[in-house]
Amino acid sequence: MAQDRVWRKSSYSNGTPEGDCVEVSVAQNVLVRDSKNTAGEMLEFSASAWRAFSPDRASILE
């Protein structure tokens, strides 16, 4: 369940007055959600799809 997961917010979100950003939760899959609407819809990626999408951050899956 999404509420049982650990979420990380980008450090870039502090650069805006509203803190607009996304949050990412990495487990067997990767979930991405809007930090201002945490109960809203989420994007779900497989670990391999996330590595392809974000190669510079793929090490967080290891």
Range of the domain at 26: 2-54
Report field, pTM of the whole predicted structure over 0.95: no
60: three-class secondary structure by DSSP: helix
In a domain, 11, yes or no: yes
In a domain, 39, yes or no: yes
**Based on C-alpha coordinates, what's the Rg of the chain?**
12
Q: What integer pLDDT is reported at residue 6 of this predicted model?
A: 92
The pLDDT tens digits of the residues spanning 4-62 come to: 899 988 776 666 666 678 888 988 899 999 888 889 999 999 988 988 887 666 555 55
In a domain, 27, yes or no: yes
Q: Domain total for the chain? A: 1
Cα distance between residue 28 and residue 39, in whole Å: 20
Alpha helices in 1-62 (DSSP H): 47-53
In a domain, 61, yes or no: no
